[in-house]
A = this chain, B = another copy of it.
């Protein structure tokens, strides 16, 4: 099984602290890693079919604080599809003049949807196939980019059809929102004022967020398993899909969903 890490914030935020803990888990998940950062409409995507432990790319990410309001990361333990760059998450496609980034943890069995439109997998994973199908169906459901609540409603219709085929923990972002869905394992936390000290679970490292933030900052972090030991993470319910906008779950942010 792979591991997922996502960040959604109301200000561009660096993920060096969380990624440092997350990348430690690559000891067991050594079949590649990837991380995508939105900067407004643009995306930086770093993918490496090597383990995040020892990868020069992962090393650069740990040392170069790229600030972004939407970040998705994935470390891979191959289930379907050989260890290769084209099978390394996250995957990116363009729809309605926006980039869409997707990463998946889990295993889908017998999910062979008809891909008759403009989204075809490049690699061999169940994950990229499911992503292409979601993109195809979103494109059919809306003529142009809809609002985040509308997209959330459409995803809530589409996702159960895929999730019926196995474990479908995933994250999806277009740079406006980050959607996270759990079949089995996913947890989230919102960091906001008053900021405190956080202690990584996977490494002897802590940070005092009060020294690195302003009172207006709000940051949601979503991960397969909680990354810190002294904060209150909320587990997703099975089948739950949450849209994160401006560092908080959409409903909690006051918008309609």
Contact = CB atoms under 8 A, between A and B. Distances in A.
A42 B94 contact: no
Say whether chain A's binding surface is mostly helix, strand, loop, or mixed.
mixed
A198 to B, nearest CB: 25
A148 B217 CA distance: 51
A98 B117 contact: no
A41 B122 contact: yes
A58 to B, nearest CB: 11
Interface in A95-136: 95-99, 117-123
Contacts of A85: 39-44
Contacts of A120: 94-97
A156 interface: no
A60 to B, nearest CB: 5
Chain A contact-residue range equals 35 or more
Contacts of A47: 42, 44
Contacts of A63: 56
A43 B49 CA distance: 11
Given A92-B92, A93-B94, A86 B40 contact: yes
A228 to B, nearest CB: 27
Interface of A: 39-49, 56-57, 60, 63-64, 84-88, 92-99, 117-123, 139
16 contacts: A39-B85, A39-B86, A40-B84, A41-B86, A41-B123, A42-B84, A42-B88, A42-B123, A43-B85, A44-B85, A57-B60, A60-B60, A93-B94, A95-B118, A118-B118, A118-B139
The 7 A-B pairs at the shortest CB distance, nearest first, are namely: A42-B85, A42-B86, A118-B118, A97-B120, A39-B85, A41-B86, A56-B64
